[in-house]
Amino acid sequence: MITVAELNDFLLYGALVLLLAILAVRASVRFGFPSLLIYLAMGVALGEVGLGIRFDDAQLAHALGFAALVVILTEGGLTTRWAEVRGSMLPGLVLATVGIAVSVVVVAVIVHGTLGFGWRLSLLLGAVTSPTDAAAVFSVLRKVPLPRRLAGVLEAESGLNDAPTVLLVTLLSSSALTHEGVPRIVGLIAGELAGGTVLGFIIGWGGAWLLRRVALPSSGLYPLAVVSFAVLAYAFTSFVHCSGFAAVYVASLVLGNAELPHRPTTRSFVEGLAWLAQIGLFVMLGLLAWPSRLDWSDVLAGLVGGLALTFVARPLSVVVSLLPFRPRIPDQVFLAWAGLRGAVPIVLATIPLAAGLERADRLFNVVFVLVVVFTLVQAPTLPWVGKVLRLGGEDEVRDLDVEAAPLERLDADLLQIRILPRSRLANVEVGELRLPEGASVALVVREGRSLVPGLRTILKAGDDLLVVAPRRVREATERRLRSVSRSGRLAGWLEGHPSTTHPRMRWVRRP
């Protein structure tokens, strides 16, 4: 039981921790490393080395970690644009399956041979540390013009690799490893992933169909409904013994790309939930890690495992997985170095800990050291690696901000566009934009003053545009604006597209 006084104390400390964590995001962006390290440090400071809060309930940490991952995957699916990752989905899927298998085997062999770990513990270490973390990667790439082909692969891989690794770690932590053969375990994982994917798609499609036809009395109910469908996908799929993590990601991907009312509001709401989940998750995991339990053998094992993973297993998994796609060498180098580990490995390490597996506490310590040390090594260098490899291609747009709000009565969206300094929209006349039929620039805000533009109005850097676009041409309108922002008034001819003079021309995204 908890008293009102205890609840008040909890809310006080919780609010202070949350505010400090939010302020830490600014510091992480400025210094170029993921905020997860700050959150972990806050958890450690609240625990043994600081306030002395004791938290050692592995079962509760396991459950709360899974709940946080559901929210994080929901946000990932809802904010992923299918049109942008469609071409990268297959390479990402191969990396999330074949790449995981290669990484697990390589890490297990090296750790078994160098540290003398048993095969089960070695395989667990490989499985726990193999998945990448999208939040950790993209938090340090905000200032780097990453090409879409790489961003799409990283995004797809990080969204898809959680499900197979959760299943693999769960099986390795149970007695199934000794009672079932490898072919049966592979078949079981494949079956659960397939079932989760199908059920997630069905629930996501059904939720989108229902929300398009039910007029809810308040716009604030739509985000709650969308999150409820995503959680339903996870819970129901897990109930029927399929992959709940695959289901929640696929369902969220379907819901996020459906024409639902109040999509911007929903995405903003879920993004806030995801931040809350990440902060709570890392602080909790920091509390669970007690520095006094670490010894030099754990640190050594973490360093050896991290070196094996970063310089052998990850590069080899990228090369093997992407062999059929023949990517450029610089792309492979960056994908290999950008395999940052974040929340997922530490959460996965709680599975054998909760199962009471022998030496699971040491596995958790090793994973904790590995994640912290190699995130500190890799994350700050990612922007530098991207520049050295010259990955800032023309197809990455960092000079145009687009937000949208629904205009329900017109069946249209209102796009708010900020022209940033690098954008080639500057000095283009409104009439030269040649937007799709029905779309128009309704207002220009310049230096705090608004003006209704004419066809001869010249746009300038720093302008905010309000563009009304019917939903049937919403994506074409945004593609056209991004194209002009990238290539100027001659966009279309310069990019190898057909003539832009036809208002009904379908625009194709560059590979």
pLDDT in tens, 206-259: 999 998 888 788 878 889 999 999 999 999 999 998 988 889 999 999 998 887
Whole-number Å distance between alpha carbons of 417 and 439: 14
Rounded Cα distance between 353 and 62, Å, is 8
Q: Please state, in angstroms and rounded to a whole number, the distance separating the CA atoms of residues 284 and 60.
A: 10
> CA–CA separation, 278 vs 65, rounded Å?
9
502: number of CA atoms within 13 Å, CB side?
7
Instruction: Supply 135's token pair.
Output: 């939040």
Residues 383/143, Cβ–Cβ less than 8 Å = yes
Q: What is the pTM of this model?
A: 0.77
pLDDT at 198: 94
Q: Where in the chain is the domain with CATH 1.20.1530.20?
A: 4-389
CATH classification code of 4-389: 1.20.1530.20
Is domain 400-489 classified as CATH 3.30.70.1450? yes
| Residue 253, helix vs strand vs coil | helix
Structure letter (DSSP) for residue 458: B
**Closest-CA residue to 304 (of 108, 98, 41, 37):** 108
Find where tokens 């160098």 sit: 114
Domain with CATH 3.30.70.1450 in the chain: 400-489
Tens digits of residue pLDDT in 110-169? 999 998 888 889 999 999 999 887 666 656 555 566 777 787 888 888 888 888 888 889
Contacts of 93 (CB under 8 A, 6+ apart): 156, 160
Per residue in 308-355, pLDDT tens?
A: 999 999 999 999 999 998 888 998 999 999 888 877 888 899 899 888
